[in-house]
Amino acid sequence: WLVRGSQRDVVIDAGLGLRSLPDYLRAAGLLEPAEGAGRRPLLAVATHVHFDHSGGLQHFEEGAVHSAEAAALLRGDNYEAVTWLSEREVARPPRPGWRARHFRVPPVRPTRLLQEGDVISLGDRQLTVMHMPGHSRGSICLHDKDRKILFSGDVVYDGSMIDWLPYSRISDYVVSCQRLMELVDRGLVEKVLPGHFNIFGAERLYRLASNYISQAGVCHKVSTCAMRSIASIALRVMNSRVTS
């Protein structure tokens, strides 16, 4: 998502980084300043460090991530980034001879570390950081309180929530879902802009969060543990092949 402000623009999640997203935004005229104004600073915020959200941070001068995942980003930890890309997922390779199996999220030093309650000011609008672990340990949502918009990353989207990756945690996810339901109960969210799939409203947000909580029983925990073990082994094998 590109959120434009009077003093700063923010890109929420930076994609894979196969090409420069800032270059594309400028070429498309999406960062053009108002008449007589100078170019605004551009900040990229990764809602978490998974490869499809953090891979493009390398192209931005300013990048932010929650402090819980800053070390993984800094060392280019592709296990925690759950890097797993196939050829069929890439419509057009970035250069001749490029292969998906060689894709890596490079080490990036974030210029800003985020914590619960931090406010990212764009001038005429403010985005409040909500630490919502569960999908990953550093997952965040950004809440535009004035407009009642929630940028939810992968914390919640209109699909099945993924809680079986390395550093996923069901108990954390349940607490995060309780917070999402509270936002709806208090009338603080009317529109959700997620990291994947379609935009949806408060009623759907409440249903997705409550359904997750109701299904997070013993059977779910056992099956999730098995899936996490398989995913962990597969990711370690994949990343060892890439680095060897």
Domain boundaries, the chain: 2-216
In this structure, are strands 119-121 and 112-114 parallel, antiparallel, or unpaired? unpaired
* 46 in Cβ contact with 53 (< 8 Å): yes
The CATH number, out of the four listed (3.30.70.100, 3.30.572.10, 3.50.50.60, 3.60.15.10), of the domain defined by the range 2-216: 3.60.15.10
CA–CA separation, 5 vs 11, rounded Å?
Answer: 11
Strand partners, 153: 194
Tell whether pTM > 0.85: yes
CA–CA separation, 223 vs 211, rounded Å?
Answer: 17
Angle CA 193–197–201, to nearest 5: 45
CB atoms within 10 A of CB 26: 14
**Residue 228: per-residue pLDDT:** 84
Please identify every stretch of the chain with a pLDDT value under 70, giving residue numbers as ranges.
34-36, 240-244
**Residue 221: per-residue pLDDT:** 81
3-state class (DSSP) for residue 145: coil
**Residue 244: per-residue pLDDT:** 42
Any residues with CB less than 8 A from the CB of 150 and at least 6 apart, and which? 141, 142, 143, 144, 183, 189, 191, 192, 193, 205
**Residue 226: per-residue pLDDT:** 79
pLDDT tens digits for range 132-179: 999 999 999 999 999 999 999 999 999 999 999 999 999 999 999 999
* Count of all residues that appear for the chain in the document: 244
Query: Pick from 113, 118, 145: which is nearest to 129 by CA?
Result: 118
